[in-house]
A = this chain, B = another copy of it.
Amino acid sequence: MKNTKVSSVGERALISILSEIFKAPDGREKGQEGILIGAGSDDCAVLDLKGEDCLVVTTDMLHRTTDFPEEMTPWQMGWMSAAVNLSDIAAMGAEPIGLVMAIGMPADTEIAFVEALAKGMQACAEFCGTTIIGGDLDTHAELTITGTALGRVKKDQLLLRRGARPGDLVCVTGYTGSAGAALEALQSRKPVSETVLNALFEPVPRTKEARMLAESGAVTSMMDTSDGLAMSLYDFSRQSRVGFRVRENALPILVEVRKFASNPDKLREFALYTGGDFELLITIDPQKIKKVQNICNLVVIGECTKYEAGIVLESPECNLITIEQRGYQQLKAEAVDRSS
């Protein structure tokens, strides 16, 4: 690996390399008891709090050039910095209990900008029933915000990426592809509604929905779709050892996004391969589907199959198409290893 650049291996491969460094040779995490889920395998790390609860924790670094389109207001940048972390807390079925935010900014940043940023963070935290409890300020050439969120959940309600079984129903909250369409609209300077733009600029963590889903006892696994639906299905598949059959007709897509996509391929691109939607992807025991149907805006998009059946899309004409393993990835790999 000597002289190999990180860009040539991609984010997920690099996570695997680092996770090994953070583990003992026997595969358990080094250093201490009490780690239920360590680095690299779920939306959050999970610590045993000894009693009936566990603590979940996640961190996410955002920065101006890659994460904040120039049309975003500072308030929205603050909102998003909190939201991406609170979405990971939701994905574990946990209740958020606090956020710390490290902010690096150029020395000539205006105070009013920082205040708006902080208000956006706090608004998102409060929307999710929590608050900003600490942070760090730093001068930095490029605006860089690293949020870390903490959550708490009863051990028997913790929802992981593993747990899905063949035969389970696959569901998503909200709509898919809206944030991707918004990004394309910005890049191609085409007009879209505020609803579509806000899917990108002000993603809503599904905190309440996640708690109700966790309490229902019907959910077998859960994660968020921040890197796109396809990427999430692959992450799920790897952890739960299941395949997926997704019905294209069932994908919940805003009418405006359907119209905005100039052709079916483009629409599929938005719905499967673009990130930023921050919805929940859930697998549900089919016997218990009634328990969750009234909880939130939840759509059944397909079902879990055997791992060997792969991850496929059933087109309206009932053709089976392999869903590709691609989407939003930091440190994009030149070639994605589809067998991993």
Instruction: Pick out which of these stretches binds chain B: A44-52, A163-171, A211-219, A301-309.
Output: A44-52
- Count of A residues near B, CB < 8 Å? 80
Contact among B17, B57, B109 for A134, CB-based, below 8 A: B57
In the assembly, what is the distance between CA of A34 and CA of B97, in Å? 8
Query: Among residues 62 to 77 in chain A, which have CB atoms less than 8 Å away from a CB atom of chain B?
Result: 62-63, 65-66
Asked if A265 CB lies within 8 Å of chain B CBs, one says: no
Q: In the complex, are the beta carbons of B58 and A134 less than 8 A apart?
A: yes
Closest B residue to A33 by CB, please name it.
B97
B residues in contact with A156, CB < 8 Å: none
Q: In the complex, are the beta carbons of B136 and A6 less than 8 A apart?
A: no
21 contacts between A and B (CB under 8 A): A1-B115, A4-B111, A6-B107, A11-B137, A17-B115, A18-B115, A21-B118, A22-B118, A22-B132, A31-B125, A32-B130, A35-B131, A38-B134, A47-B133, A51-B51, A57-B100, A59-B148, A60-B136, A66-B138, A141-B141, A146-B148
Asked if A142 CB lies within 8 Å of chain B CBs, one says: yes
What is the minimal beta-carbon distance from A19 to any residue of chain B, in angstroms?
9
A131-B31 contact given A5-B110, A115-B21, CB 8 Å threshold:
yes
Query: Among residues 1 to 16 in chain A, which have CB atoms less than 8 Å away from a CB atom of chain B?
Result: 1-7, 9, 11, 14-15
Contact among B14, B35, B62, B63 for A133, CB-based, below 8 A: B35
- Interface, chain A (partner B; CB < 8 A): 1-7, 9, 11, 14-15, 17-18, 21-22, 29-32, 34-35, 38-40, 44-45, 47, 49, 51, 55, 57-63, 65-66, 97-98, 100-105, 107-112, 114-115, 118-119, 122, 125-126, 129-142, 144, 146, 148, 150, 330-331
Q: In the complex, are the beta carbons of A119 and B21 less than 8 A apart?
A: yes
Q: In the complex, are the beta carbons of A110 and B141 less than 8 A apart?
A: no
Contact among B1, B126, B134, B150 for A39, CB-based, below 8 A: B134
Known pairs A18-B135, A39-B132 / 12 extra A-B pairs, C-beta < 8 Å? A2-B111, A9-B111, A14-B137, A17-B111, A29-B133, A44-B134, A45-B100, A47-B133, A51-B51, A61-B138, A104-B144, A141-B142
